[in-house]
Structure 1
């Protein structure tokens, strides 16, 4: 029976993962639903966990299943380069769930780097760079040029704007992962600046156009090689982080909503000197650029087409919409393989399948790397490459 199939994982990593999770053998065994004796024997290499038991252990330790097949434990958890929270959230230490999310993303990056090298196609160096002294409008234009985004194609994206911006960024050897299960008040986006395969994490609970803004915000963090955690540490560090956040907000807005394009919009031009904006006007502009109404209004404020007082009067309504997202219950949804593809990204999934085609990975490896059952892999393959079943 399937439950009796041994997982053949590295026992040293099994023991290491439990230690990193700070769980006693008794607590870990109870959570995995096995005996303490079985767990310790597996850690010593004297027994093997079945595949379901191994997946349960990976879930309890909050580790990617593929990690347990490495020859040795990874070097260790590295501090992230950016942590974007909503302004109302209280600063404090990372929660265990957030720490696990970042750690898992870094592990997937390590695996992707290894795959690139094994396939003889090393990931390109991330060479796009900027400084906090750069002109925000000019940097926004540079980002559009670097990603090869034109106004004509952006107008056509509309509701699919996030997917297209993501594809443009992934094409530059940046990993973009969607993160489920975390409240927006805990995390909206994370950037991990690396010389190869830098990482961007986006909270999947956010609205699609909210994800788009966060994506460009985090890309700006990669460009300036920002370090530290926004809103944490000493007052001086918080001030430094606030400067980076404000800069990246402005650059993301400039990249998504270019000045000349916005001001040339008929709806904007005919408003003349009027400083107030109806909600349907903001919504119409938001659709054109594939962003949120708040991003449009903030951009209008930056360009002197509205007032700070009017922006502040609309801010609470926007914030309530964000708050409602955290309390919203999901009902139904797409098949599991489409959810995984959305979370991991098409470029990462294609890399894993390329490793399989090149006989660097087994089918079981593929299922581990993609965190899904073997029987779901064919459907995932079809979706990854746009094939018809």
Structure 2
């Protein structure tokens, strides 16, 4: 069978590679071609073997049709980087770049299916919050809007139950979609996007449940400030004023002063933090913020807590695709897509793509 060569817009080839986070040398190795030959494809876009383009589509997680567009698609607008990393450490890995792309794609789908007016109405609460100047009053009002008081929070039996309840309430009551995807935990623990509707929060599924809960409210603090941001919530230092303020907000929301019991006993800190479904570090920081623990004692206890952590080996068990889809995209997005199928606003192929499922599995879910 004769090999088919094609001509494309070379700028699209460059765009696709950069958006996926590949270097020319990496691509050349994967395609088993000389780097100079690949560079020539990006310069001229001529005589590219169709089979190589298919390989690139797989590597870049793109549909093959993308390479034949006449114009270069708009680049994903990345959230502001609040991670305070050195230039050499601040690069974004392929996993994170893919998560940013995927999240923005789901955001666009949700907007297209429900419409801009729908999502604007969902965010009207922000107008009310903006008029409140005192953070304590903001938290009180948000608690009422979300519909979860401290007594309900204390009744939850597990951290996973707490995460599900917080996530569902943020989506239902505040109109913010909460996605979760696997990312390198040392690189990014969460981010939010507010440049388009609907607003979204993304947590790292490699993080603990308490870490994901804290990330949700840290990112909610950014959203209240109308900021998009990429964050490492566990590694915030006091000189990071914006991040420190968001951490303070999240801590105050999840562990109000009336729930804080003064102590410098690690076992008691563990007990109290478990009741609130927050990490020991969050409870310890709340003690310090409320003036219930001197700095010297705080840092000594913090070191002891960190010393107890051991890196857990990753365990990969089989998860049904539809279960994974619901977990990553959230019930709200999942339901939006299924309702759109029922009202013929989306076809089965596009719906399956949006949910990361095969059409056959999608049909079984209906």
The answer to whether the superposition gives a TM-score over 0.5 is yes
5 Å-filtered alignment, 1:183-194, equals 183-194=184-195
Q: Which residue of the partner structure matches residue 255 of structure 1?
A: 253
Aligned to 1:177: 179
**Distance in 2 separating the partners of 1:251 and 1:188:** 17
The answer to whether 1:278 aligns with 2:278 is no
What corresponds to 1:311 in structure 2?
A: 298
CA–CA distance in 1 between the matches of 2:65 and 2:103? 12
Aligned to 1:349: 334
1:342-381 equivalences under 5 Å are: 342-378=327-363, 381=365
Which consecutive residues of structure 2, in runs of 5 or more, have no partner in the other structure?
Answer: 1-6
Quick one: distance in 1 between partners of 2:169 and 2:208? Answer: 20
Distance 2:83 2:246 in 1: 11
Residue 149 of structure 1 is matched in structure 2 by 148
Q: Is contact 2:189-2:203 (8 Å) kept? A: yes
Q: State the structure with bigger RCO (CA 8 A, min sep 6), 1 or 2.
A: 1
TM normalised by structure 1 equals: 0.71
- The correspondence of residues 67-86 of structure 1 with structure 2, limited to 5 A, is 74-81=73-80, 83-84=82-83
Q: Could you tell me which residue of structure 2 aligns to residue 99 of structure 1?
A: 97
Q: How many residues end up aligned between the 2 structures?
A: 337
Q: Is the 8 A contact 1:178 1:344 kept in 2?
A: yes
Indicate if the aligned counterparts of 1:125 and 1:196 stay in contact, CA closer than 8 A. Answer: no
Give the secondary-structure state (helix, strand or coil) at the position aligned to 1:21.
Answer: helix
Could you say if the C-alpha distance between residues 69 and 101 of structure 1 is closer, same or farther in structure 2, counting changes exceeding 3 Å? farther
1:353 CA drift (Å): 1.0
Q: Structure 1 residues 240, 134: CA separation in 2 closer, same or farther (over 3 Å shift)? A: farther
Q: Cα gap change, 1:215/1:363 in structure 2, threshold over 3 Å: closer, same or farther?
A: same
Corresponding position of 1:242: 240
Mapped to 1, the partners of 2:95 and 2:326 lie a distance apart of: 21
- Write out per-residue CA displacement over residues 206-237 of structure 1, whole angstroms, 9 at most, x where no aligned residue: 11111100110001100012356669xxxxxx
Alignment of 1:7-46 (within 5 A): 16=12, 19-22=15-18
Shift of the 252–158 alpha-carbon distance from structure 1 to 2, 3 Å rule, reads: farther
Cα gap change, 1:214/1:27 in structure 2, threshold over 3 Å: closer, same or farther? closer
- Contact preservation (8 Å) 1:83, 1:187: no
Structure 1 unmatched ranges of 5 or more: 1-10, 232-237, 383-389
What's the CA shift string for 1:80-126, capped at 9, x where partnerless? 145457x89975233343223212211221121111129x9555353
- SS of 2:357 mapped into structure 1: coil
Residue matched to 2:220:
219
Give the match for residue 201 of structure 2. Answer: 200
C-alpha distance 124-90 of structure 1, shift in aligned 2 (>3 A): farther
Shift of 1:355: 1.4
- Cα distance change, pair 330–226 in 1 and its aligned pair in 2 (3 A): same
Separation (CA, whole Å) in 2 of partners of 1:352 and 1:167: 17
Cα RMSD for the two superposed structures: 4.2
Secondary structure of the residue aligned to 1:124 is helix
Distance 1:315 1:30, change over 3 A: same
- Aligned match of 1:124 in 106, 121, 126? 121
- The superposition leaves residues 213-269 of structure 1 with CA deviations (integer Å, 9 ceiling, x where unpaired) of 0110001100012356669xxxxxx99981110111111011111112x14xxxx3x
Q: Which residue of 2 aligns with 1:385?
A: none
The Cα offsets for residues 19-54 of structure 1, whole Å up to 9 and x where unpaired, read as: 422479998798589xx9xxx9xx99xx999xxx97
Contact 1:176–1:201 (Cα < 8 Å) also in 2: yes
Structure 1 match to 2:3: none
